[in-house]
Amino acid sequence: MKMNSKKLLILYATQTGNALDAAECIAREAERRACLVAIRSTDEYDASSLPEEDTVIFVVSTTGQGDTPDSMKVFWRFLLQRNLGSHWLEGVHYAVFGLGDSGYQKYNFVAKKLDKRLSDLGATAVIDRGLGDDQHPSGYEAALDPWMALLWSRLSEIKPNFFLEGPDFLNVELIGQPKFQVSYHNVDNMDSQLSTAGDFEYLAMQIGRARSMSAGRVSHEKSKPDAFLKMIKNYPLTRASHEKDVRHLEFEFLSQVIQYEVGNVLEVLPSQNPAAVDSFLQRCNLDPESFITIHPREMENHHLDNNVNTLEVPIKLKTFVELTMDVASASPPALFLRGKILYVMSFFATAEHEKEKLQYFASPDGRDDLYQYNQKERRTVLEVLEDFPSVQVPFEWLVQLVPPLKNRAFSISSSPLVHPNQVHLTVDIVSWTTPFKRKRGGLCSTWLASLDPEQRICIPVWFQKGLLPRPPPSLPLILIGPGTGCAPFRGFVEERAAQSLYGSIASIILFFGCRNEEDDFLYKDFWLSHSKNDGVLSEAKGGGFYAAFSRDQPQKVYVQHKMQEQSQRIWNLLCEGAAIYVAGSSTKMPSDVMLAFEEIISKESGAPRESAVKWLRSLEKAGKYHVEAWS
């Protein structure tokens, strides 16, 4: 008899937490059907134990250009071992659900690779893989719901012993216990207010302590910040009348200087609106001055992050909320609201009409109305709580259910060679109006835009490797960066210009795009200065700068059209071994640019389109075609 013969194992691999959300949704639905469940991250599970499992559900996200999440890399390398053989997983049943973005060329690539590899190792699929798409109006939930319905139907047929009460049993009143336990402490003379903390090490430990206790922490994330910055410049790059507000922001290191590279990413922990935090504390009847510690509740069927070190040093409740719980950002995902908050809130509603409304929203029948209520209106968690005043959710549940306050990632737009003590960012200030005319704004971008360089505000940051590796000076470059996608390439050009002062450099051509030359030509003077007087973007140096202004003429002109105009120059650089770097929106731009390269290579080489496609694929494999795109 196999181990865990009646237990469903769910393994997830997440980069930002979405795969964990989806995995917990599947686990919750299994538990409602009286099915025993174990849920683990792939970096907490011994892959050699897979043949001993009965049925495994994989929930995996795809990052970057078809990359596995950090937490899955070791697990995936194990599965690729040649000695495992085609019968290694014989008798094991599995299902795969992937989370991806159809704006990328390699959409849900990790889920597709995993599905094939499991099959090759002899495992049997319960149902076809499910593919969630971040581009869908309802997000990945649109694919998850029907996929789960099919999963339970098929499992009840082939594995009826999984369901202890029978395949037709469904407990709609199951809530269980929260995953985390909150302990309150009597602490005298302990000052935990960030605003009064002057010592950077103390400040870093304070942030690390709060985030290590946070229910939303993912295992690969570093809790303590790498450094603290202060803003020294904040000015607009777009005309005041333009509908978009894009800022150039410059920062200096307050603490130790971190050695970063062009192409790296800066993650910023945003500061929340103090009034919103106070409103949340008041609405939930929480004592902001109490001191707490938080640790996972020991429960067999719930995810425990073995890497979390919950230091037994109490922290002020208000500080914990400020640093870890995103109480007032717009629109948590529909899955989060339906699968977690609204479902749990219904158990704590004392007004019958509120309980019924919450249960309806949390049901499949209520999806369309939930979409109108949440997604279109982009309600915050605080607003949802205020809409149902009879609900009083215990803090243990709030810790688990309120979205984690996540770092926001920005491409660095400076070179450390040119600015050794600084970091520059190019930030689009996110804002919009809902159908009911509510003004909304992105938490981090709005906060950064509001900062006054004259004030000394400590900004906690983390430095991460991006998807655009630093090129050596001898490598010719073809850069495509419309809109704020040009941000990392400002750093590339700065660095190449600095390198040209003491050695030879290869050519760079850059394609930039925006709507109007007068309104949103980001860094116009910078690009033009480097494209003249033998600058690194000048044609005299083998380079070039080409701008597409999509709305300045009746027919729209985009970067791919400018690329076609420079077809011969692009081909010549590719023949010299150039690398391609693409950055910007993930909607249509990356695929349109790829198609333009296919047409250019086919036209200039005289080869058929299929050969051009293979040629580009070989560039990708050789590490010479890089894409950094975002929704």
223-258 pLDDT, tens per residue? 889 999 999 999 999 998 878 899 999 999 998 889
Which is higher by pLDDT, 204 or 422? 422
Distance between CA atoms of 242 and 396, rounded to whole angstroms?
45
To the question of whether residue 562 is assigned a binding role by annotation, the answer is no
Residue 165's pLDDT band, with cuts at 50, 70 and 90, is: confident
Yes or no: say if 81 and 607 are a contact pair by the CB < 8 Å rule: no
Which is higher by pLDDT, 186 or 494? 494
User: Does position 150 have pLDDT exceeding 70, yes or no?
Assistant: yes
Tell me the CA distances in angstroms from 602 to 394, 574, 592, 599, 614, one per residue in order. Answer: 63, 13, 15, 5, 11
pLDDT of residue 339: 58
User: Does position 571 have pLDDT exceeding 60, yes or no?
Assistant: yes
Residue 391's pLDDT band, with cuts at 50, 70 and 90, is: very high
> Strand 439-441 and strand 431-433: pairing?
antiparallel
To the question of whether residue 138 is assigned a binding role by annotation, the answer is no
> Strand 508-514 and strand 544-549: pairing?
parallel
Segment 396-415 shows an average pLDDT of: 91
pLDDT mean across residues, the chain = 87
- Which residues are bridge partners to 395 per DSSP? none
290's tokens: 């109490």
Domains of the chain: 7-162 (3.40.50.360), 477-630 (3.40.50.80)
To the question of whether residue 276 is assigned a binding role by annotation, the answer is no
How do residues 263-304 score in pLDDT, each as one tens digit? 999 999 999 999 999 999 999 999 999 999 998 775 434 443
To the question of whether residue 362 is assigned a binding role by annotation, the answer is no
To the question of whether residue 560 is assigned a binding role by annotation, the answer is yes
pLDDT of residue 335: 56
To the question of whether residue 350 is assigned a binding role by annotation, the answer is no
Distance between CA atoms of 26 and 39, rounded to whole angstroms?
10
To the question of whether residue 410 is assigned a binding role by annotation, the answer is yes
pLDDT of residue 330: 63
Task: Spell out the residues 6+ positions from residue 601 whose beta carbon is closer than 8 angstroms to its own.
Answer: 571, 574, 607, 611, 612, 615, 616
To the question of whether residue 14 is assigned a binding role by annotation, the answer is yes
How do residues 339-352 score in pLDDT, each as one tens digit? 568 888 999 999 99
Lowest-confidence segment of 439-443, 556-560, 623-627 by average pLDDT: 439-443
To the question of whether residue 25 is assigned a binding role by annotation, the answer is no
To the question of whether residue 446 is assigned a binding role by annotation, the answer is no
User: Does position 336 have pLDDT exceeding 60, yes or no?
Assistant: no
Residue with tokens 């700068």: 545
To the question of whether residue 134 is assigned a binding role by annotation, the answer is yes
To the question of whether residue 623 is assigned a binding role by annotation, the answer is no
User: Does position 430 have pLDDT exceeding 60, yes or no?
Assistant: yes
Segment 203-223 shows an average pLDDT of: 74
Distance between CA atoms of 118 and 136, rounded to whole angstroms?
28
Kind plus residue range of the DSSP H or E element containing 292 = strand 291-296
To the question of whether residue 378 is assigned a binding role by annotation, the answer is yes
